Amino acid sequence: MGDKKPILDLLQEQIVILDGAMGSLLMDQGLPAGTPPEIWNGSNSDKIKKIHKMYFKAGSNVVLTNTFGGSGLKLAAYKHGNNIEEYNHKAVSIALEACPENGYVAGDIGPSGAFLPPVGDITIIDFESNYLEQMQVLADAGVDLFFIETMVDLREAEAAVKAAKSVSQLPVFVSMTYKKTKRGFFTIMGNSVEQCVDSLQKLGVDAIGANCTIGSDDMIDLTQELNQLTELPIIAKPNAGLPQLINGETVYPTKSKDFAKDISKIVENNARIVGGCCGTNPAFIEKIAQMVKG
């Protein structure tokens, strides 16, 4: 990977551009609905590598490994709980092969799909051990940072951060998922932006922000709130608008040009790490890159 500077040093110098959606692109390539995308790390690695390369070519500084659902609890729900090491290690290898000398690979860690009481019966210890196993594989395989994303429960996010800190000194980025309500932005478990920022800062995360659920227009307001609460680098990875069901197909209405305009306002709110979530693709990232350079 050459003598590239640490990702946190790069953040001091420029806006860092993430990638866009992965799962929807894999479905376009033929991934059956309901199939864990991580399975393709072994059976269709060429298709995953191609997507990574497309994002780097479009202007991404960082791509996320195809491991969003690669934790033990999540894979066990699909009866693939014995494949944690295989799927995660292979995902990192694929991303590293696609990565240019000045690019970065983030180990992607998504929610487990399990819940604490009273919703579920998982414990905090279960959460920590779940992420500990996945993160150890990601770190050993050579990621540049951990990217914990789409977290709807602050307590689960905290457990993931603690697991990351216990296995490595790699930078830890955390992105929560919020819904816009009449009272402001909250996770579905009722965590406010202020609660999340306060707790995650105390745990020593290196960047903090939000992704998924809301579109780029609402993300403008959310990053404005984040900017008032933290001096850490802010992450913004919104959806391409709110999904609509048209003729039985899920469609995201925001066009790449309008998305990039919103991202420019998000950057004005001091977001330093930007990309796209559901409904986005390399064309969106290319527009963001053009905006950032301009």
Q: What is the pLDDT of residues 200-210, one digit of tens each?
A: 999 999 999 99
Q: At what angle do helices 84-98 and 45-58 cross, to 10 degrees?
A: 40
Nearest Cα to 134, choosing from 176, 199, 88? 88
What is the enclosing helix (H) or strand (E) of 8?
helix 7-13
92-105 tens-digit pLDDT:
999 999 999 999 99
Q: If you average pLDDT over residues 140-162, what whole number do you get?
A: 98
What is the enclosing helix (H) or strand (E) of 187?
none
How far is CA 21 from each of CA 13, 54, 134, 165, rounded to the nearest angstrom? Answer: 26, 12, 21, 27
- pLDDT bucket at 227, cuts 50 / 70 / 90: very high
- pLDDT bucket at 248, cuts 50 / 70 / 90: confident
- Predicted local distance difference test score (pLDDT) of residue 1: 45
Percent with pLDDT over 70 in the chain: 99
Give the domain 7-293 fold. TIM Barrel (3.20.20)
pTM of the model: 0.97
Q: If you average pLDDT over residues 134-161, what whole number do you get?
A: 98
- pLDDT bucket at 243, cuts 50 / 70 / 90: confident
Contact yes or no for 130/88 (Cβ under 8 A): no
How high does pLDDT run on average in the chain?
Answer: 96
- Predicted local distance difference test score (pLDDT) of residue 2: 55
Residue 225 pLDDT > 50:
yes
- 245 versus 198: the higher-pLDDT residue is 198
Residues 6 or more apart in contact with residue 194 via CB below 8 angstroms: 229
Contact yes or no for 80/87 (Cβ under 8 A): yes
Beta-ladder partners of 208:
174, 234
What is the enclosing helix (H) or strand (E) of 15?
none
Residue 30 pLDDT > 80:
yes
Residue 148 pLDDT > 60:
yes
Beta-ladder partners of 31:
none
Q: If you average pLDDT over residues 224-237, what whole number do you get?
A: 98
- pLDDT bucket at 250, cuts 50 / 70 / 90: confident
- CA 166, 167, 170, 171: dihedral to nearest 10 degrees? -40
- pLDDT bucket at 245, cuts 50 / 70 / 90: confident
Q: If you average pLDDT over residues 114-128, what whole number do you get?
A: 95
